[in-house]
Amino acid sequence: LKYLSSEGVPSAGRNVLQMHLKNEGMILTEQQLRYRQKLLYDYGLITIERGRKGSQIAEKGRRFLSLFG
């Protein structure tokens, strides 16, 4: 969530998210990342678009980060 809320990151696809997580020391398979994205989506914290739009942080996700981030 923090990466998606960063300035200049309107959205990000799985490959970009995977690269960012790897740089942060978290190595996830594509399936593991998809599962985590689905959980965040189910809680309403992110939106997931098809194609090049990727994932975006939702307003609820921004509020969550401001409280717990």
The full DSSP string for 7-66 is TT-S-B-HHHHHHHHHHTT----HHHHHHHHHHHHHTTSEEE-SGGG-EEE-HHHHHHHH
Model confidence pTM above 0.75: yes
Give 33's strand partners.
none
Mean pLDDT (the chain, rounded): 93
Residue 64 has pLDDT above 90, yes or no: yes
Residue 9 has pLDDT above 90, yes or no: no
What was the pLDDT predicted at 53?
87
> What is the C-alpha separation between 67 and 20, in angstroms, rounded?
23
What was the pLDDT predicted at 34?
95
